[in-house]
Structure 1
Amino acid sequence: MKRTEIKQLLAEEKIGAEVNVKGWVKAFRSNRFIQINDGSTIKNIQAVVDFEKIDESVLSKVSTAAAVSVTGNVVASQGSGQSIEIEVSAIEVLGEANPDEVSKTVMQPKKHSMEFLREQAHLRFRTNTFGAVFRIRHAVAYAIHKYFNDNGYYYIHTPIVTGSDAEGAGEMFRVSTLDPKNPPLKDDGSVNWEEDFFGKETNLTVSGQLEAELAALALSKVYTFGPTFRAENSNTARHLAEFWMIEPEVAFADIVDNMDLAEDFLTYVVKYIMENNADDLEFLNEREVKEDSTKPQAERNEMPLIERLKFVVENNFERITYTEAINILLNSKPYKKNKFKFPVEWGSDLQSEHERFLVEKHFNKPVIITDYPASFKAFYMRLNEKKDGVPGDTVAAMDILFPGIGEIIGGSQREERYDVLKQKIAEFNIPEEELWWYLETRKFGTVPHAGFGLGFERMVMFVTGMTNIRDVIPFPRTPKKAEF
């Protein structure tokens, strides 16, 4: 008999139909009631054993985490918690699970610490929390591709191995085939990278943006969705060494067009998840509420998960300049009462506490901040004309701020003017020979263009309510950690 997925079975509720379900045992009570899950939904199906039909030798092999194939008729449930169940006529144990071994793993049906779950990342998919997280992660990825495809964007695969540093940060992973113990040397004793595989020093990419710009200046609307790598020695809940980025680039677009695109895009993705992952969201929402009830008031979320998602889709995003944001913060009660941990002054980057105040307290809606000081923004961001009342040079940059998480997107109008870009590259001490190709695009039909970057894991954190970025990627890569 063809297998029926549990999600389909629960949706159709075909009373009287004979079905076959395959999955893993979540619980086995009274040697009669088997809770089965196959990963298609967070919900289980209950299979009720008739002792007269099932041999005891088969039932003795049924235990938590075992894989089973169950055949029987769909009947109305006699108990609470489910509307239908399966009256078992045949059962096969496809894969046994030793109860003593299960008790040492995350599959033991009890509460486990998140650190313990990370240590068993190969098994944590089997838990309710991570089943929900990774179903939602898939849905977010699908929604992103669907949005851009439906709006006429072309998906560009940009290089993973690169000879340039898009961010100018210098914290990159080197890619080399040279013998680390005996590399070829130049006369001055330095490594001769010309002998390496690519004939030059290369690294894993930190961004596909610069290459995406090249494609946008021919195809008009493109986006990337690929892995990126940062060699930061950081063990915070917001950093990974390997993560995924979405980076659209649009020709004939300015900073306002960029804001319009980003707002529409984020609203679409959040709305898609709310409409298509309701069961998983409800579970994660309840999980967060329970977790918050054990925390001090100051550490609790201002809004539950589902309320935060509604907050995004039901509000137009507020748009203010960096200078306006600084003035709001300087006049705020937290600033006047010395409640902010970090200083507020023009020329300093905003911290998460400042961003969350603007979103959750002052405007009570998502916020887009533009026109940041050039001093702490990337070389490729377009330099603005000087404005009255603005202390220094600013660039046409933007950050989008969400509740609970702060910055979710960063982007800018790109510097399309050859002379200005050339000067910025020099000011950032970036060797011009590394970016000759990027500069050259400004010689042949240069146009205003813009784009932004969305950290995929940051987005998944927002829509799942998970507080550690290591819990929204299957196998996190962090300093001293590359297991699995």
Structure 2
Amino acid sequence: MKRTVIIDALKRTDFGTDVNIKGWVRTRRGNKSVSFIALNDGSTINNIQIVVDNEKFGDEYLKPITTGACISVVGKLVESMGKGQTVEVQADEIEIYGTADPDTYPLQKKGHTLEFLREIAHLRPRTNTFGAVYRVRHHMAMAIHRFFHERGFFYVHTPIITGSDCEGAGQMFQVTTLNLKNPPKDDLGCIDYSEDFFGKETSLTVSGQLEGELAAMALGAIYTFGPTFRAENSNTPRHLAEFWMIEPEVAFNEIEENMQLAQDFIQYCIRWALDNCKDDLEFLSKMYDEELLERLNFVIANDFVRLTYTEGIKILEEAIAKGQKFEFPVSWGTDLQSEHERYLVEKHFKKPVILTDYPKEIKSFYMKQNDDGKTVRAMDVLFPKIGEIIGGSQREENLEKLQQRAEEMGVPHKDIWWYLDTRRFGTAPHSGFGLGFERLLLFVTGMTNIRDVIPFPRTPNNADF
């Protein structure tokens, strides 16, 4: 008999029909004559109840059916008389695929801390929490692709292995086939990368932006969606060494269009989650964040506040003068910390904020310079509970200014000659931004640690599973 997934079975009303349900046992309870098995196959947060006549199967056969076991059930779909479900299955046949020893299976019916579940990341998807998070993650990926496809963007796959450092930070994971115990050396005693696989020093990418710009200058509007890597020793609830980035780049867009695209994009994704992940979001709201649904609805119902970095600094300085305490200092020219960003969003405006026109000294070489000679057309989208969720800018299209800024920031021309060519041959105004996928998921799910919105987190001293 063809299997019926539980999410579909729970919607059916053709009572009396034989169905085949397969899944993992969440709980089994009952008495000597009847057992009630809560079965889940991952298709929904909701379980389906299997009603079992114990005499029909025998105690010895049913004994291995405990929490964590995997079974296949053939039976009749009937209307449920109990609370909490509309349908259930009266079992006629049960096949046991796999058992789970109650003495060793770690996911028994009790509360588990998120810290403990990170230690068993291979099993945590079977919990309600992580089943919900991963289903939301899937829907967010679908929303991203649909948003851009509906607007005529083209999906471009940018390299994971690169010879350039987009951010100029230098904190990258090196990629090599050289013998690390005895690498080849040149005449100066330095490692001779000409003998490496690519004939040069290469690393895992921190961003697909530069290559994305190349595509935008031919296709008009593109986006990337792929893994990126940062070798920062940041062991915080907001940082990962491996994470996913969405990076649109649009020819002829200036900073104003870029800000509007960012707002439309995030609101679309959140609306998609509310429309398609109702049960999972309600569960996460109940378990972790009572204000989650209210906050999501608020974001899609309101325009984002737009103000300059200079205006933002003034607001923060005025708050300090009135007694507001911050761990990190505030002054014009310093990069804002998460506590500053969240103050602007959560306390001052009580809305998402797009901050623009940052000092050029704290931003990357490729951002378009303003006429004041001090600031660049950068933009950061700031969200409640998260801080920065999007970072972007209008890109510098003037070849001389871009070359000069690259020199000032120590970016060798030999590493970006191909990038400079787009300003040399048919340059045009263009803009783009990057959204950290996991930070979006933090906001949408209400989870508080970024390790809990990616299946297998990579952090300092942790590359398990």
> How does the TM-score come out when normalised to structure 2?
0.97
> Which whole-Å CA distance do the structure 2 matches of 1:80 and 1:394 have between them?
61
C-alpha separation in 2, matches of 1:236 and 1:383: 32
Q: Give per-residue Cα distances to partners, 1:210-267, cap 9 Å, x unaligned.
A: 0000000000000100111111112111111111110000001100010011100000
Residue 446 in structure 1 maps to residue 431 in structure 2: no
1:53 and 2:60 aligned: no
Does residue 67 (structure 1) correspond to residue 70 (structure 2)? The answer is: yes
Which residue type is aligned with residue 440 of structure 1? D
1:54/1:89 contact within 8 Å kept: no
The C-alpha deviation readout for 1:141-171, integer Å capped at 9, x for no partner, is: 1110111111111111111110000000000
* 1:355 CA drift (Å): 1.4
1-structure distance, mates of 2:383, 2:355:
12
Q: Please state how far the C-alpha of 1:135 moved relative to its aligned partner.
A: 0.5
3-state SS in 2 of match to 1:129: helix
Q: Is 1:133 the equivalent of 2:120?
A: no
Deviation of the 1:363 alpha carbon: 1.6
> 1:26-78 CA distances to partner (integer Å, 9 max, x unpaired)?
00002500000000000000011123432333212211100011111122222
| In 2, Cα distance between equivalents of 1:14 and 1:99 | 36
Distance 1:470 1:403 in 2: 19
Q: Does 2:301 match 1:314?
A: yes
Summarize deviations over 1:192-226 as a string: whole Å, max 9, x none: 11111101110010000000000000000001001
Question: Take 1:441 and 1:338, find their aligned partners in 2: how far apart are those partners?
Answer: 47
The residue type equivalent to 2:156 in the other structure is I
Aligned to 1:9: 9
- Give 1:16 deviation, angstroms: 2.2
Per mean C-alpha deviation after superposition, the further-off stretch among 118-127 and 45-54 is 45-54
Q: CA shift at 1:415, angstroms? A: 0.5
3-state SS in 2 of match to 1:359: helix
Bigger mean CA deviation after superposition, 351-360 or 221-230: 351-360
In 2, Cα distance between equivalents of 1:433 and 1:310: 48
Question: Which of 80, 84, 90 in structure 2 is aligned with 1:81?
Answer: 84
2:358 is matched with 372
In the TM superposition, what whole-angstrom CA distance separates every residue of 1:435-477 from its partner, at most 9, and x where no partner exists?
A: 1111111011100000000001111111011111111111111
Aligned to 1:177: 177
Partner residue of 2:370?
384
Question: Structure 1 residues 464 and 456, CA, compared in 2 at 3 Å: closer, same or farther?
Answer: same
**Offset at 1:9?**
1.1
| Residue number among 304, 307, 315 corresponding to 1:328 in the alignment | 315
2:446 is equivalent to residue 465 of structure 1:
yes
Aligned to 1:483: 464
Query: Which moved further from structure 2: 231-240 or 53-62?
Result: 53-62
- Deviation per CA, 1:290-339, whole angstroms, max 9, x where unpaired? xxxxxxxxxxxxx711111112101111111111111222223x552142
Q: Partners of 1:234 and 1:83 in 2: how far apart?
A: 48
The corresponding residue for 1:405 is 386
- Distance in structure 2 (CA, Å) of the matches to 1:192 and 1:282: 57
* Aligned residues of 1:288 and 1:304 also touching (Cα < 8 A): no
Letter in 1 for 2:313: I
What SS does the aligned partner of 2:211 have? helix
User: Which consecutive segments of 4 or more residues in structure 1 shift more than 3 A?
Assistant: none
Q: Secondary structure at the match of 2:216?
A: helix
Task: Give 1:482 shift.
Answer: 0.8
- The residue number in structure 1 matching 2:225 is 225
Residue 35 of structure 1 corresponds to which residue in structure 2?
38
Partner amino acid, structure 1, of 2:430: H
How far apart are the structure 2 equivalents of 1:192 and 1:342? 43
Q: Which amino acid aligns with 1:351?
A: Q
One-letter amino acid matched to 1:319: R
Query: Runs of 5+ in structure 1 lacking a partner?
Result: 290-302, 387-391
* Deviations 1:61-120, CA, capped at 9 Å, x for gaps: 211100011111122222222122111111111111111111xx1x21111121210110
Amino acid at match of 1:349: D
2:206 equivalent in structure 1: 206
2:335 is the alignment partner of 1:349: yes
Task: Give the match's secondary structure for 1:98.
Answer: coil
Q: Distance in 1 between matches of 2:421 and 2:90?
A: 70
Equivalents in 2 of 1:264, 1:335: separation in Å? Answer: 36
Q: Size of the alignment, in residue pairs?
A: 462
Shift of 1:406: 1.1
Work out whether residues 356 and 406 of structure 1, in 8 Å CA contact, stay in contact via their aligned partners in 2.
Answer: yes
SS at match of 1:368: strand
1:123 aligns with 2:123: yes
Q: 2:292, 2:346 → 1: CA distance?
A: 14
Farther-moved stretch of structure 1 (371-380 vs 87-96): 87-96
Partners of 1:58 and 1:92 within 8 A in 2: no
Task: Name the structure 1 match of 2:349.
Answer: 363
Aligned to 1:241: 241
Identify the match of residue 409 of structure 2 among 417, 428, 453: 428
Deviations 1:123-154 (A, max 9, x none): 00100000000000111111101111111111
Structure 1 residue 430, shift from structure 2 partner: 1.1
Paired with 1:330 and 1:51, the residues of 2 have a C-alpha distance of 71
Q: Which segments of 5 or more consecutive residues in structure 2 lack a partner in the other structure?
A: none
Alignment pair present for 1:270 and 2:270: yes
Q: Counterpart amino acid of 1:312?
A: V
Opposite residue 404 of structure 2, the aligned amino acid is Q
After superposition, what is the alpha-carbon deviation per residue over 1:381-425, rounded to whole angstroms, capped at 9, x for unaligned? 000111xxxxx7000000011111111100000000000000011
Distance 1:428 1:278 in 2: 47
Distance in 2, Cα, partners of 1:307 & 1:356? 18
User: Given the two structures, how large is their TM-score scaled by the length of structure 1?
Assistant: 0.93
Shift of 1:364: 1.8
Separation in 1 of the partners of 2:312 and 2:47?
48
**Aligned residue type for 2:165:** D
Letter in 2 for 1:327: K
How many angstroms apart in 1 are the aligned matches of 2:301 and 2:143?
18
Q: Give the Cα separation in 2 of the matches to 1:136 and 1:156.
A: 24
- RMSD of equivalent CA atoms: 1.2
Structure 1 Cα separation of the partners of residues 248 and 431 of structure 2: 8
SS in 2 for 1:369: strand
